[in-house]
Amino acid sequence: MTPKLSVEGVSRSFPGISGAAPVQALSPVDLTVAENDFITLLGPSGCGKSTLLRIIAGLDRPSTGRVLLNGRPVAGPGPERGMVFQSYTLFPWLTVAQNIAYGLVERGAPAARIRETVAHFLDRMGLAGFQDHYPKQLSGGMQQRTAIARALANDPAILLLDEPFGALDNQTRALMQELLLGIWERDRKTVIFVTHDIEEAIFLASRVLVMTARPGRVKADIAVDLPHPRSYRIKTHPDFTELKARLTEEIRAEAVIAAAEH
């Protein structure tokens, strides 16, 4: 059975500054992602998590290797990959409804389908009543709800999220984690989610991939065998505590290596 996503020998080097040696951000990475997997990428700062995600999204090109989505090579950005960033990348001149509709409008979808899709995501993302607001009129959490809705409105084959809740306060972050997990549990989207938060990685994932200090490679691939649907009570489960201890040690070891290299 063809994996949903294959990363084959992907590495990335960046030119050095002012004649310095090139910087290798990623060692060759091999990774397969199955349909409906929820993968969290966890690792110390600067380990190449975001670089790998950008390569999968087609926003950056690998120095070696290739990425296949549904068996086809990724050559650039495309609507089959929905991307959500940490910064609120909404179009400030468009309303919430217009931001959600943006991809469908660009693809020339019928007006009736656009209206129906926008109404659906306004409702399920808790944005009903805010459709005519502009991004500057929204809280950070509502802006990220809109960004996720915009990505999902295109019905992507895979959803890519780069620390999307990193700038939110703890309470809003917890609510957004539960919202995203609820969407995944209902829709069974394939998701790759970059984070540096160990509890977030475990709570959301079906698999946690731990990356080494730069140049990043996959050090550990750990299945999260916790029951669904998940609520925050799962954090008191003995298996959750055991996973957190294991991942804390994995990350601590890599953080020590990263600090020594600086």
Q: Residue-wise pLDDT tens for the chain (262 aa)?
A: 679 999 999 999 998 887 788 889 999 999 999 999 999 999 888 889 999 999 999 999 999 999 999 999 999 999 899 999 887 789 999 999 999 999 999 999 999 999 999 999 999 899 999 999 999 999 999 999 999 999 999 999 999 999 999 888 899 999 999 999 999 998 889 999 999 999 999 999 999 999 998 899 999 999 999 998 898 889 999 999 999 999 999 998 888 887 776 6
pTM comes to 0.93
Which of the following CATH numbers is that of domain 5-80+156-254: 3.40.50.10860, 3.40.50.300, 3.30.50.10, 3.20.20.80?
A: 3.40.50.300
Angle between helices 170-187 and 140-153 (to 10 degrees): 20
The beta strands (E) that lie in the chain are given as 5-14, 23-33, 38-42, 64-69, 72-73, 81-84, 158-162, 190-195, 207-211, 218-223
Q: What number of CA atoms fall less than 13 Å from residue 175's CA on the CB side?
A: 12
Three-state DSSP at 81 gives: strand
Q: Taking the domains of the chain in order of start, what are their residue ranges?
A: 5-80+156-254
Tokens of 130: 């805010």
Q: Look-up: residue for tokens 């005519």?
A: 132
Q: Which residues contact 147 (CB under 8 A, 6 or more apart)?
A: 84, 85, 88, 89, 90, 99, 164
